Amino acid sequence: MSYSSGENAKIKKTTSEKVWNTLGYLFYFGSIIFLVSMWSKLPEKVPVHSNVLGETDRWGSKWELIILPGIGILIILFMSLLEKHPEIYNYPKRFNEANAERFYLHSRKLVNQLKNLCLIIFALILFESVSIALGWGNGFGKWFLPIAVCAAGFLVVSSLIKQKKIH
């Protein structure tokens, strides 16, 4: 198979990509089902934003909660498109015909992981907002944002380290 510039890379999905997709889509669709099932129980005003300490700093209409699944669908559409076309990414100078498939697969896996991590994070934020609105607790607290950022950072840094090993 030739991997010249502009040619679509057709590489089979790996088990890890399938697992990440399963987790991401379970959280995403689960959060929508949860929101729909709790909709009639929600008060008109719900938490719609939290500060860096995890404290609710803005309340709004429960209709604003629909923004989170909306962002999720945009993430799915955009990042799935990027997953299908790893040949359009930027690669280091050592990229060539011999290592193209490894670069494509590696890059595609990172996009897949980030897509699904975003879906999981947005699902958790939706769950948190609904839970607070229903009086089930005070949310995830000050550690949610740092853990989410560290998780994304870990994926990117570990991917960069692995990419350095491709020759």
Contacts of 21 (CB under 8 A, 6+ apart): 13, 112, 116
pTM of structure? 0.91
For each of the chain's 167 residues, which pLDDT tens digit applies? 455 554 556 899 999 999 999 999 999 999 999 999 999 999 999 999 999 888 999 999 999 999 999 999 999 999 999 999 999 999 999 999 999 999 999 999 999 999 999 999 999 999 999 999 999 998 999 999 999 999 999 999 999 999 999 99
Helix (H, G, I), strand (E, B) or coil at 68: helix
Domain boundary assignment for the chain = 15-164
